[in-house]
Structure 1
Amino acid sequence: MTYLSRIRINPLRSRSRELLASPGALHRWVAYAVPGPAEDERLLWRLDSDNLHRPQLFALTRSKPDWTHLVDEAGWPASDGDHAIVRSYEPLLEQIAAGREFAFRLTANPVQNSAKPVKPTPAQAARLATPLGEGEHRRGFRLAHRTAAAQLDWFLSRTAGWGFDVPASRTDDPAPGLVPDVPDARDVPDVPDVTADADRPGPAREVRIVQRRRHAFDKRPGGPRVTFHSATFEGRLRVTDATAFRTRLLDGIGPSKAYGCGLLTLAPLAPVTPLTARKD
């Protein structure tokens, strides 16, 4: 059995400020919610802090969690309403089928592998300076994508392997004069093919980046420093491979899963209200 939880966080409490400032600390408190070892659970979680006054924690666990400790220390234990909602994930998994569309949200750590960083850190420079033995190969470096364009490209270039695609935006063509006309090389002699696919931007997709952050914190008091960049994507997706998609829902997407990345959550698509003619 798998469970999805949503916990309300009170940002004014002292414990909350500690947890909101450090993904490492929040990971430990999420792990306290389940009785077994965290590595057996393959915990996934995400902190949604769009509204700084009402942040919410989402967590996916394989055993039923108890969030009493988090509500007591970082929530509103004496207030009305649902402090922590826990629901079985199975009904959602049963709805997954090729062709189904959902609204989605994902916080991920977009990275690339490079054999030689352009500006290596001292630790990376030391690794590069270490001589290799015969037949040895140096493992590549995991580097963060830091621009929104690179992060979005990272996401869109991998969705097929994750079992879904992001449909093109449902927008009308721009009015004449709002975008420059691009000449067709077939109509202009001796002009390079400026409409070649390699130079042509792809169609706009139903996805946007709603938050980008750089995280830096100590893994433990006095321990090594952890630094990574995250991007939160939301939009609309269409399932293309139900099996691969269920795997990503359960196992997460990308690195830094222990620090709040990788949890893909779904919601029903909002109905589209058709425009009607005004009646005077």
Structure 2
Amino acid sequence: MPYLSKIALNPRRRAAVSLLANPHRLHAAVLGGLATQPVTERVLWRLESNTPHRAEILVLTENRPSWQHLVEQAGWPDADGGQPLIADYAPLLQRLAVGREFAFRLTANPVQTVQRPVKPSEEQLQRMKNADTLEKRRGFRVAHRTAAQQLTWLLTRTERHGFTIPATDTGTTIDLDASTAAEAPAGPAPAVSLIARDTLRFRKGKDGPRVTLSTATFQGRLRVTDPVALQATLLGGIGPAKGYGQGMLTLAPLLQEAPHG
């Protein structure tokens, strides 16, 4: 039975500052909330908000977690509103039906695969140095960096993940500058906004390689086309870097839901 949790962290505490500065450390702290170790289940998480006064993390787990360690070390242990919220995720999954529409949010790492990166990272340079024939054939992941590329990345993956993004009558919902507007997909504007873009830089451990992630947060409206595929997407995520807080798709009811069958 899956569970969706919301955990509040206090950015004014030293432990919270350390976790929020490095997705590798935050991922390890999230896995520490599960009793079965080492963790073999799929765990998705996302930094939902991060202000100077409060940060919130959403976490999806297969088994019921405990977040007491995070609250005690990096949250508000005894304060009203400081306790984590843990909800059964099954009722949402049971509402998935062909034609039903939901509001959605997704923070992802839009990438493409190339044979040789133009500006390889430290990790990619090491791979290129030591690569065998199989690795060379597999290629390297490089980030989509423009808003139009990131939007296209999402739109070309929706069908396989069990949903579509319907058109909106209000015109384009994504800000495209002159250099990227020509890359935007043709046709009616989809009901999605690119509400945040960021570049995360951190190390895997104290002496580990540097990691650079280009992230995009999408928000909009989706329509269910395949409930089974969408359920798998909600539980498994979209795209790479899931261990670093990417790929978690969340749904919420629309104010006025469209008829469904």
TM-score, structure 2 as length reference? 0.86
In the alignment, the residues of structure 1 paired with residue 184 and residue 248 of structure 2 have an alpha-carbon distance, to the nearest angstrom, of: 33
Residue equivalent to 1:165: 164
1:1-280 to 2 correspondences below 5 Å: 1-37=1-37, 39-49=39-49, 51-81=51-81, 83-121=83-121, 124=124, 138-171=137-170, 201-271=186-256
Number of matched residues? 247
Identity of matched residues, %: 50
In the alignment, the residues of structure 2 paired with residue 136 and residue 73 of structure 1 have an alpha-carbon distance, to the nearest angstrom, of: 41
Shift of the 14–204 alpha-carbon distance from structure 1 to 2, 3 Å rule, reads same
The question of whether the paired residues in 1 share the 8 Å contact of 2:12 and 2:52 is answered with: no
In the alignment, the residues of structure 2 paired with residue 27 and residue 126 of structure 1 have an alpha-carbon distance, to the nearest angstrom, of: 24
How far residue 81 of structure 1 moved from its aligned partner, in angstroms, is 2.5
Larger radius of gyration: 1
How far residue 141 of structure 1 moved from its aligned partner, in angstroms, is 1.0
In the alignment, the residues of structure 2 paired with residue 115 and residue 154 of structure 1 have an alpha-carbon distance, to the nearest angstrom, of: 19
Letter in 1 for 2:238: I
SS of 1:204's partner is: coil
Give the superposed CA RMSD. 2.6
How far residue 52 of structure 1 moved from its aligned partner, in angstroms, is 4.5
Q: Can you give the 5+ residue segments of structure 1 that lack an aligned partner in the other structure?
A: 174-197, 273-280
SS of 1:78's partner is: coil
Q: Can you give the 5+ residue segments of structure 2 that lack an aligned partner in the other structure?
A: 173-182
How far residue 50 of structure 1 moved from its aligned partner, in angstroms, is 5.5
SS of 1:7's partner is: strand
Letter in 1 for 2:137: R
In the alignment, the residues of structure 1 paired with residue 78 and residue 53 of structure 2 have an alpha-carbon distance, to the nearest angstrom, of: 18
SS of 1:228's partner is: strand
More off after superposition, 44-53 vs 5-14: 44-53
TM-score, structure 1 as length reference? 0.80
Shift of the 154–199 alpha-carbon distance from structure 1 to 2, 3 Å rule, reads closer
More off after superposition, 26-35 vs 219-228: 219-228
How far residue 56 of structure 1 moved from its aligned partner, in angstroms, is 0.9
Shift of the 103–137 alpha-carbon distance from structure 1 to 2, 3 Å rule, reads same
